[in-house]
Amino acid sequence: MPVTIRFLGQSCFLLDDGQHKLLLDPFIQGNPTCPVSLEEALDWNVDAVLVSHAHGDHWGNALDFGKKGVPVIGTAEIGGYAEKHGAKNAVGMNIGGMYKGAWGSVYLTPAWHSSSFPDGTYGGMPTGMVIEFGGQRLYFAGDTSLFGDMKLIGERGLDVAFLPIGDHYTMGPEEAARALELLRPRVAIPMHYATFPLLTGDPEVFRVGGQLRGVDVRVVAPGEQTQV
C-alpha cells in the first residue's frame, strides 16, 4: 500500500496511507516554513501524533491535538506531561517498547540528543521511531548524531529513513549520508535544516552522498509530498 508523505517543515511530517493519518513532531505554530495553519491541521482527523522528544520544535502543537482526543505518543515523560496538561489519550512508553494501534505500530529507538519541554520540564530520553504504517517500515530518527547502533535499526529492513541534516544540533549532511551505510533504506528524506539560521546543512550534499550509496534521496520542500 503506498504511503503519501507530506513535509511540513523542520521535522514535521504528515503520513497518509489512504485509510489512516499520522502526524510526526507537530511543530506548526511558530514554524516559519510550515505552509499550513494549526486550524487547518486540526481538521485532518489524524489517528495519532508521534513525538520524538520534548523540544519545542518537535513537541510543537502536540497538546492541541491531544486535547481533541488524538493519542499523543512518546516517552513516559512526554505522555505524562501531555496528560497533566489536558491531553485525553496520551500514551507514555520508552525505548525498546512498541505501541500498536489500528493504523500500525511504533517502536522507540535511542537517539543521541537532549530533551526538555519549552517550560524547562525534563522530557525523558530523546528517541527515534520505527513506524509500521501502510505496509511500509519507516525510521524517523528525530534529532540525533550518527551512532553505530543504527546498523541494528537497519537490520529490520527499512523502506524509508527520515534523517536530520541541519548540523549544529544534529548530524550534518555528510554524517547523515554515512548513517545511510548503516541503515540501508530504500528511500531517505532529509529534515531539520534551513528552518533557522543555525541549521546550515545542505540537502544537495546529502542527496549526492545518498546517491553514492545507492539510496534514493528525496529532497521534499515544505508543503510538498512524495509517495513511497
Quick: pLDDT tens for 132-144.
999 999 999 999 9
Q: What is the model's pLDDT at position 127?
A: 98
- In this structure, the number of other CB atoms found within 10 A of the CB of residue 103 comes to 20
Mean per-residue pLDDT of the chain: 97
Q: What is the DSSP letter of 5?
A: E
Where in the chain are the domains? 4-222
Which residues lie closer than 8 Å to 22 by C-beta, 6 or more apart?
14, 15, 46, 47, 48, 49, 50, 103, 131, 133
Q: What is the pLDDT of residues 87-106, one digit of tens each?
A: 999 999 999 999 999 999 99
Predicted confidence (pLDDT) at residue 124 exceeds the cutoff of 90:
yes
Q: What is the pLDDT of residues 51-72, one digit of tens each?
A: 999 999 999 999 999 999 999 9
**How much of the chain is in helix, strand and coil states, percent to nearest 5?**
20, 25, 50
| CA dihedral of residues 81, 13, 148, 176 (deg, nearest 10) | -130
Report the C-alpha gap between 179 and 151 in whole angstroms.
8
- In this structure, the number of other CB atoms found within 10 A of the CB of residue 151 comes to 13
Q: What is the model's pLDDT at position 82?
A: 98
Signed CA dihedral, 54, 56, 167, 155: sign only: positive
SS3 211: helix
Predicted confidence (pLDDT) at residue 1 exceeds the cutoff of 90:
no
The domain 4-222: what is its CATH number? 3.60.15.10
Residue whose C-alpha is closest to residue 88's, from 75, 69, 72, 74: 69
pTM for the full predicted model: 0.97
Contact 12, 59 (CB under 8 A): no
Q: What is the model's pLDDT at position 206?
A: 98
Contact 101, 93 (CB under 8 A): no
Residue whose C-alpha is closest to residue 25's, from 40, 13, 43, 38: 13
Q: What is the model's pLDDT at position 34?
A: 97
Q: What is the model's pLDDT at position 62?
A: 98
Q: What is the pLDDT of residues 3-43, one digit of tens each?
A: 999 999 999 999 999 999 999 999 999 999 999 999 999 99
Q: What is the pLDDT of residues 156-196, one digit of tens each?
A: 999 999 999 999 999 999 999 999 999 999 999 999 999 99
- Residue environment code for 21-53, b if the CB has 16+ CB neighbours within 10 A, otherwise e: bbbbbbbbeebebbebebeebbeeebbbbbbbb
